[in-house]
Structure 1
Amino acid sequence: MSYGRTVTVEAPFDQVQQHVRKALADQGFGVLTEIDVQATLKAKLDHDMEPYLILGACNPPLAHRALEADRSIGLLLPCNVVVRADGDEVIVQTVDPGTMVTLTGLDAMAPVAEEATHRLDAALAAIEAAGREDHDRPA
């Protein structure tokens, strides 16, 4: 079962993460939490790895609707968005909101998941387009 939606961008990591934040905001998502996995593993385990961020994104109207359908859905909120380096590329992944429907089995969750999917797909498309512009821009 696939539980993520992914785009790959050929642009510098810092630029991509800025595009991610803007694209999420443009779709009504705020970033509530941020985990810098690279820094945390270095500080706690002295382990070196590629840049890797986990952003906890929330669209309040969608979160409210989901919580009205199932108070336990908070276990799956906020929506995690991963931004990670992979060589010269940056991979951006979001959880597939359809997993909320699959995991809960609640039909009432389907419209919320559909709207969240639409908004996250629009954000991913904007990130991909911005990355292409960055890549095509002369240095």
Structure 2
Amino acid sequence: MIDFSYIIETSKSFDEAVVSVLRAVEKKGWTVFQIYDIKERLAAKGFVQRPLKIIEICSGKYAHQFLNKNRMVSLCLPCKINVMEEGGKVVIVGMKPTMIAQLFPEIKVEEAQGVEEEILDIINTAAQS
């Protein structure tokens, strides 16, 4: 199986982890586009789900760079960091942007690695107690 995600457990509560992600995104100079509360949205349709929020984030610098190489990269934008409860624990999850280089040959792995380093830094910063 391809290792496409980065997952880290945090001792923070679910809500604290969400706030920590938002702060880490801001500190890194990225932008939060949208936050989806999946548990709430599915509850409105009568489905029960454990807590899960999808936080869409973007670095204009990287988005501009990648879109200029192949506009189909927009299918992978914006980046997402998820906060969820799994097995009674809170985890923060992000897709590894280096996966984009496997889908779009115009994007060099080294370029995607820069994005990945920033995403992992955001996740690690948010997860710290």
* TM-score w.r.t. length of structure 2: 0.91
Structure 1 equivalent of residue 86 of structure 2 = 86
Which ranges in structure 2 are unaligned for 5 or more consecutive residues? none
Name the CA distance, whole Å, in 2 between partners of 1:16 and 1:84: 9
Paired residues, number:
128
Which ranges in structure 1 are unaligned for 5 or more consecutive residues? 133-139
**Residue 66 of structure 1: CA displacement?**
0.7
Q: Residues 109 and 70 of structure 1: is their aligned pair in 2 closer, same or farther, counting only changes over 3 Å?
A: farther
**Residue 14 of structure 1: CA displacement?**
0.8
Structure 1 equivalent of residue 125 of structure 2 = 126
| Aligned AA (1:116) | V
**Residue 28 of structure 1: CA displacement?**
2.1
**Residue 67 of structure 1: CA displacement?**
0.5
What value does the CA root-mean-square deviation take over the aligned residues? 1.4
**Residue 68 of structure 1: CA displacement?**
0.9
Structure 1 equivalent of residue 21 of structure 2 = 20
Name the CA distance, whole Å, in 2 between partners of 1:7 and 1:118: 15
Greater helix share, structure number: 1
Structure 1 equivalent of residue 62 of structure 2 = 62
**Residue 91 of structure 1: CA displacement?**
0.8
Deviation readout 1:57-87 (Å, 9 max, x if unpaired) = 1111110001011111000000011110125
Name the CA distance, whole Å, in 2 between partners of 1:77 and 1:26: 20
Name the CA distance, whole Å, in 1 between partners of 2:75 and 2:40: 25
For residue 34 of structure 2, give the secondary structure of its aligned residue in structure 1.
strand
Structure with max Cα Rg: 1
Instruction: Select between 111-120 and 60-69 the one with higher mean Cα deviation.
Output: 111-120
| Aligned AA (1:8) | E
Instruction: Select between 33-42 and 22-31 the one with higher mean Cα deviation.
Output: 22-31
Name the CA distance, whole Å, in 2 between partners of 1:35 and 1:111: 30
Structure 2 equivalent of residue 37 of structure 1 = 38
Q: Residues 87 and 10 of structure 1: is their aligned pair in 2 closer, same or farther, counting only changes over 3 Å?
A: farther
**Residue 10 of structure 1: CA displacement?**
1.6
Runs (4+) of structure 1 exceeding 6 A deviation are: none
